[in-house]
Amino acid sequence: MICQECGEKPATLHFTKIVNGEKTEFHLCESCAREKGDSIPGAPNGFSIHNLLSGILEFEPAMGQNIKQQKKVIRCENCGLTYSQFRKIGRFGCSSCYNHFSGQLDPLLKRVHGNSVHVGKIPIKSGGKIQFKRQIKDLKKELQSKIDHEEFEEAARLRDEIRDLEQKISEV
Amino acid sequence: MERFIEDALSEWMKGEGPDSDIVISSRIRLARNLTNYPFPMLATNQQSEQVLGKVSDVIHAEDLKMLSHFERIPLSEINELESKVLVEKHLISPNLAEESRNGAVILSENESISIMINEEDHIRIQCLFPGFQINEAYELANQIDDIFEEKLNYAFDEKRGYLTSCPTNVGTGIRASVMLHLPALVLTQQINRILTAVSQVGLAVRGLYGEGSESLGNLFQISNQITLGQSESEIIHNLYSVVKQIIEHERSARAKMLTESRTFLIDRVNRSYGTLSYAAIMDSKEAAQRLSDVRLGIDLELISNVSANVLNELMIMTQPGFLQQYAGKKLSTNERDVTRADMIRERITT
Ligand SMILES: [Zn+2]
Ligand SMILES: [Zn+2]
C-alpha cells in the first residue's frame, strides 16, 4: 500500500477514526505521519513529538508578552499556556489546563476518542469518593429495576446499601 | 547497569510465551502525572528535578521490592550510544533518549518492567511480556501503578480520568500493544486487506523497522487508539480478540503455503539461511527480511539448527546502536553493514 499523502513511499502506519459513524482512514509513510502528526487527532504516540517539542520551545519566550494584545484569550492560570497554543502543539502544559480549557474540550475529546468521559480505573487513594459515587450510581439503577419488578425485599436491601455508601462519602 | 546495555536479549524475552510462533511480545504502557507539577514539557529544571526525586523514591517501597530488584538509570549518566541501545531494546522511548530533561528509567532485573520518568508525562509504566500475554502484562502494570499511586499524588479528574500531556492518552492513559510476525500474510498478499480491517475497529497498526521506508522484517505493531470512554478491560479485550483473529489468519496462511508451495518455502527459508551464514556485507533491510524468512523456517520446522531465541537476539543486535556498541565505536553505514554480517554469521552458525 502506498502512502496517501506523498503517493510515493509505502505506507507503514494504518488507522481509522470512526467518530459518530463518520470514518476517516489514514495510510501513511513514516515521514508523512511525522509531519501530519499534530493535525491527526488520535495519532498514536510518538509521532510528532520532535516537531511539537521544538514548537513549544520557540514560542515559550513570547508567552506573557501578547496577553493584552489579544482579546478573550483562554489561558491556563496555572502554567500560562493559552488555548490556541494548546491547539497548535497538541499538548497540555499541566493538569490544570484540563479545567481552564474545559469549555472547549468536549468536542475535541469526542473527535479523538468518540467520547469525553472517563469510565476506567479510579485511583485508590485519591479516588475513594469517586469510587463510592460510581457504586451508588450503579446501585440506584439496580434499585429502580427491582422496584419495577416489584422485588421490594431486594429493593430495601439496596436502599440500605446506598445509604451506607452515602454515609461513607460524607466521612471521606 | 552494564548488563542492560551489553545483553541484546532482555531476560524476559528468553521465556517462551503463548503463540510465540507469531506474537513476539505484548506490551502495556500506562501514562501518569503528578499533581502540582507542570507536565515535563513546561516544567522548569528545578521542577523536573523534584519530580525525578519523588518518583525515584518509590523504588524503596517494600511492595515494589517484592516484585523485583530495581535499578534507576538517569539519562544524564549514560552516553548517546548506550541510550540508543536501550531504545533498540524497547526499554526506553526515543523521546526519553533525545528530548527529556532530568529523564531517567527504572528497570527491573529481567527488564520486563521499565518505568520512564520525565518523558512526555511524569511517569510511564511499561510492562513487556514474551508472546501473547497482554492480560498478564496489564495485571502487572496495574499492580505497579497501585504501588506508585500509594506513594505519590496522581493528577486524576473524575470526568477526564488520568490527566496526560497529550489529549490522545487521557482517561485510562493506557496503550496496549502487540508485536506480530506475519510473513505468510505478507507473502500471500493478504496483509493490506487485514491491516485496513484492523484499522477500522479503533486499533492502529504500524510496520516496524521502517527507517523512513517500508515495514521491514514482516513485523507489525497493533495497539489501541482510544483511551477515553472505554475501560481498561474493554480496551484490552478488543485488542485481544482482534489479534486472536489475525493469529488464526496467519496460521492458516502458513498451513496453506506449506501444503501448496512447500518447495518454494523450503527454497526461500534456506536461501536466506545460506545468505545469513555466508554473506560478508548485509544492510539492515536485507537482514530484516532474511531474519524473517529464517524465523518462519524455524516456526514451520523447516530449519532446525537455529533457535528462535537467536533470531530474537539478532533482530535487536543488528540495529545501528547495538552494532556500534558491539564494535565499541561509531561506525559508518558501510562499516555497519560489514559488522552486521560478521555478527550474524557468528551467531547463526554456532
Ligand atoms: Zn508519505
Ligand atoms: Zn496549564
The model's pTM: 0.82
- Whether residue B143 lies within 8 A of chain A, CB to CB, comes out as no
Q: Choose among B167, B195, B235: nearest Cβ to A109.
A: B167
Distance of CA B24 to the CA centre of its chain: 9
Q: Can you list the residues of chain B whose pLDDT is less than 70?
A: 1, 208-215, 350
**CA–CA separation, A53 vs B40, rounded Å?**
11
Residue A43's pLDDT is 40
Q: Do A18 and B158 touch (CB under 8 A)?
A: no
Q: Tell me the C-alpha to C-alpha distance, in Å, between residue B2 and each of A56, B80, B83, B318, B343.
A: 35, 14, 12, 19, 20
Q: Which of B118, B125, B84 is nearest to B104 (CA)?
A: B118
Q: How far is A1 from chain B (nearest CA, A)?
A: 7
Is residue A124 classed as helix, strand or coil in its secondary structure? coil
Residue A12's pLDDT is 78
Measured in angstroms, how far is the CA atom of residue A8 from the centroid of ligand 1? 6
- Cβ neighbours of A124 in B, within 8 Å: 146, 149-150
- Cβ neighbours of A115 in B, within 8 Å: 226, 228-230
Measured in angstroms, how far is the CA atom of residue A15 from the centroid of ligand 1? 14
Helices vs strands, H then E, count in chain A: 7, 2
Residue A36's pLDDT is 61
Question: What number is the ipTM of this complex?
Answer: 0.87
Q: Can you list the residues of chain A whose pLDDT is less than 50?
A: 38-70
- Whether residue B214 lies within 8 A of chain A, CB to CB, comes out as yes
**Enclosing H/E stretch for B331:** none
Residue B307's pLDDT is 87
* Number of inter-chain CB pairs under 8 A, A vs B: 192
Q: Choose among A14, A113, A126: nearest Cβ to B156.
A: A126
Residue A41's pLDDT is 42
